[in-house]
Amino acid sequence: MTQGYKPVRDSGTFSYAAHAAVVAVDPEVGEVEILDYVIVEDGGVLVNPMVVDGQIYGGLAQGIGTALYEEMPFDNSGQPLATTLADYLLPGATEVPAARLDHMETPSPYTQFGVKGIGEGGAIAPPAAIANAVNDALRPLGVELMQSPITPHRVVAAVLAARTSGRSAA
């Protein structure tokens, strides 16, 4: 027998979160290091907190990949340039920080037990949090990066462009 549950009032039962990153950026080589990462998530009543934490930490790793590593470039004729995992970079254990995670609990009034969905929350916010932290770190140099992933090549190119145009304070 298969059973399911759907709330009477289908209002959407989305989680809410805030992510904050502290990074160090080496403008000479373009390296970005995540020094600290904090997540505050409101998933309503957590039925299984360990599973929720796993989803959030896994989403963080995915979001770091989006922010700093994963890219699918193509040449002028449309041929992919990243055809193996040697070309398509992913964050590993050394690139994913031991993030600090805190839970708020605002029960959903529309679901049994007050639960909310938690699925994609961990993966959506990291690219924005990391990009904002990188841009904050590079602001004194007159650099703002608006394309992901924020690769070392893009960081160095933006720093050189800022120096050449005279925007850089350094």
Cβ atoms of residues 7 and 111 within 8 Å: yes
Residue closest to 150 by CA, chosen among 67, 43, 41, 62: 67
Work out whether the CA dihedral 33, 21, 52, 11 comes out positive or negative.
Answer: negative
Each residue's pLDDT, cut to its tens digit, for the chain (170 residues) gives 888 877 676 666 778 899 999 999 999 999 999 999 999 999 999 999 999 999 999 999 999 999 999 999 999 999 999 999 888 889 999 999 999 999 999 998 888 899 888 877 788 999 999 999 999 999 999 999 999 999 999 999 999 999 998 776 65
Give the pLDDT of residue 109.
Answer: 86
Sorted by where each starts, the structural domains of the chain and their CATH numbers stand as: 16-165 (3.30.365.10)
Give the pLDDT of residue 14.
Answer: 79
Give the pLDDT of residue 61.
Answer: 96
Give the pLDDT of residue 65.
Answer: 96
One-letter amino acid of 121: G
Euclidean distance between CA atoms 28 and 151, whole angstroms: 13
Work out whether the CA dihedral 87, 93, 96, 97 comes out positive or negative.
Answer: negative
Q: Please give the positions annotated as active site.
A: 120
Considering all CA atoms of the chain, what is the largest pairwise distance in Å, rounded to the nearest integer? 70
Alpha helices by DSSP H, the chain: 49-64, 121-124, 126-138, 152-165
Give the pLDDT of residue 102.
Answer: 95
Q: Which residue has the tokens 């992933």?
A: 149
Q: Quick check: helix, strand or coil at residue 18?
A: strand
Residue closest to 42 by CA, chosen among 122, 113, 127, 116: 116
pTM of the entire predicted model? 0.87
Q: Quick check: helix, strand or coil at residue 92?
A: coil
